[in-house]
Structure formats: C-alpha cells, structure tokens
Amino acid sequence: MASLSAWFWNERFWLPHNVTWADLEDPAPGVEYPKVGHLFTALPLALGIFAVRLVFERFIASACARSLHIQTGVGRRAQPNAVLEKVFTSITKNPDSRHLDGLSKQLDWEVRKVQRWFRHRRNQDKPSTHTKFCESMWRFTFYLCIFTYGIRFLWQSPWLWDTRHCWYGYPYQVITPGLYHYYVIELAFYWSLMFSQFTDIKRKDFLIMFIHHLATVGLISFSYANNMVRVGTLVLCVHDASDFLLEAAKLANYAKYQRLCDFLFIVFSVVFFITRLVIYPVWILNSTMFESWAIVGPYPSWWVFNVLLLVLQVLHIIWSYLIARIAVKAVLRGKVCNDVRSDIESSSEEEPNTPTGGLRSSHSPKGENGTNGHCAAAKAQALNHSSW
C-alpha cells in the first residue's frame, strides 16, 4: 500500500522540477499551503448541504410553489386496469406494436387507447411540476449564492485582474480562508449532487450525469492537490456565471411566466456564449497554457490539467452549438421545441386537439409550453455536462 501511495503521489508528476512535497509541508508560521487532507472536509459538508437542501425544498421552495399555484399532482392518471398494470410492472413500460395489438384484442380497446393508457401510467411515476420547481429553486439559490461569493472573493484577488498572478511564486502560494472556503464548498456541492442524484428526478441521462459529477469532483480535487487553486477559482466562477440564469428561466416556466422565461433564456444564452466561448479560452486557457509555460514551465500534471481544460472547451463548443440551434428555432417559431429529456411525455402525437405549434404535455390540463423542455435540454447539455 505504501508503494502504491508513493507511486501515485510521485513528486515528478505533481510538482514542478526541484520542488518536493517536503518543501510544502513545513511552511513559515502563519502560512499554509493546500493539503490533500483538506479535501476530506468536503464529505461531511456535502452531507450538510444535502440536509439543508431537503429542508429548503420541503419548506421554503414548497411555500413559494404554493404561492404561485403550482400543482403538486401529476395530472391525469391511468384508469385502473389489472391486465395493463401487470404488463406495465412485469413486462414493459413501452410496449411495441406486437404487444399493443395483442392487448387491444384482449381488452377490445383501440390501439390508440392502449397507447394512451401506457403514456398516462408512465407519467404517474414521474415528478410533478411542484417537485421540479423545488429542485430548480434549490439549484438557483445555491448557484446564485456561490457565484456572488466567488465574485466578491475574486474582486479582492490580484489574479482576477492579472492572471499571471496565478503563477507567480507557484507552487508556494498561500491558501487563504476565503480561497479554502470557496473551493471546499464547490467541491462539497458536487459531492452532494452525487448523493442526491439517486433521489432526484430520474432522467434518461442519469449515468452520464453521474460520470459528469464524478469528473467534476476529480477536476476540483486534482487542481487543489497541486495548488492550481488560483486559476481554478477563475474556472469555477466562469462556469457559475450562467448556471443560476437557466435555473431562473426554468422557475419562470414552471410558474407559467412565458415572457419572463423567454427573456431569461435569452440572457442565459448570451452569458453562456460570452463566458464559455470568449472569456474561458481568451482569458483562462491563455493563462494556463502560455503564461504558466513562461513563468513556471511545463511538467506532467501541468500537461494533464491543460488537456482536461482543452477537452472542456471542446464541450463548450458542442453545447453552444446545441443551444444556438434551440435559440434559432425559438426565434423562428416564436416557441420552443419539446425536449427529448422531458420528464413528462407529450401527448400531441396522439391527441389531435393539441396545438402543434407549442407541444403540450399531459402533465396538466393546460399543459406546459415547450420552454420547459428547452430549458431542460440546455441545462443538461450546456451546463451540467460542461461545468467542472
């Protein structure tokens, strides 16, 4: 075990030439450098954040949802039917044409009626708008608070105004209380997302999101272990800048404030493009790749860190393209398209009375306009997958 630990923490991988772990373990009085042990603090803090979230959603977010008259039910329910229920629970939730034809003959129902039953039955197991509102309100609150904290902290930090300060004196850079709290809270939040993913709204990209959260935790921990926390705070802040805006748009959609939702989505899109396609490459990648090369010089973990940041930029480009496509469709149609990740299935294909311009859902009698799907797609594709 000792040999494995020594191999993993090889100084020639983690640290610049002529720097050892011993150099960082005994700083001057009153000075402290990042230590891997600090990261373990995030685990109990993550449980605390998860507990706060449960209380927040149960009382504060629920009260807000009720004040906005957001329903707690799931809308139309499937009529009781023992035969279809047995098929649904034991065989398949999405019967193919063969099953549909057989059930239609067995029950003397039209195939379309059987399809509708299965759609309503699937929707019974899916979260209500009230549940989604509470989840989004929690994320909006956290993202807004951590972004505000990050801006206030970085405003007083020299590396915000001159990114070369991220590398002056590296790796002998002091970890201040503000810097430590910012990093550990962010890390704890993503740990809490990993915990809560098993109780949150289940979506089709569950595994992808789990891997994303795991990768995010790894990136934050990696940058802390080799004391790249200064540039790490810049990366965190850039990614946090648009998160709360999209959650705000989703809240407006759940509350059926369509114009506000559209406006917030436009603002989110603009901020996303500016932060991910302009500020991130021009400001941060320039610093990590060129300024650090000139001041510190490359070494193995430096290469790994920069490769990961470049992969992140590729993701930014991909998801920016997807957001742009959605935004163009919204402008051309005046509405937004339905999202394949939508928690509630659209009934427009089977119910001709539903307007085709804005796909409605069987979630409520009035239906939810497509902006909800629009926001959900953007969140999954543009924020969650491409943030730390």
> Are 11 and 23 within 8 A, CB to CB?
no
Residue 299 lies in a domain: yes
Residue 106 lies in a domain: yes
Distance, in Å, from the CA atom of 234 to the CA atom of 241, rounded to the nearest integer, reads: 11
154 with 245, same domain? yes
98 with 174, same domain? no
59 with 112, same domain? no
Strand partners, 346: 361
Number of domains in the chain: 2
Cis peptide before 16 (omega within 30 of 0): no
pLDDT block averages, 10 residues each, the chain of length 388: 87 92 88 92 96 95 94 75 89 90 92 90 82 94 97 96 97 94 96 84 73 87 95 96 94 94 92 96 96 96 94 89 84 55 43 32 34 41 43
180 with 267, same domain? yes
Q: So what's the pLDDT on residue 297? A: 95
Q: So what's the pLDDT on residue 39? A: 94
Question: DSSP code of 79?
Answer: P
298 with 268, same domain? yes
**Distance from the first to the final alpha carbon of the chain:** 30
Residue 336 lies in a domain: yes
Chain-centre distance for alpha carbon 227: 25
> Are 246 and 375 within 8 A, CB to CB?
yes
155 with 269, same domain? yes
Its domain, for residue 90, covers: 82-125
Write down the residue that tokens 């805006």 correspond to. Answer: 245
Distance, in Å, from the CA atom of 79 to the CA atom of 179, rounded to the nearest integer, reads: 56
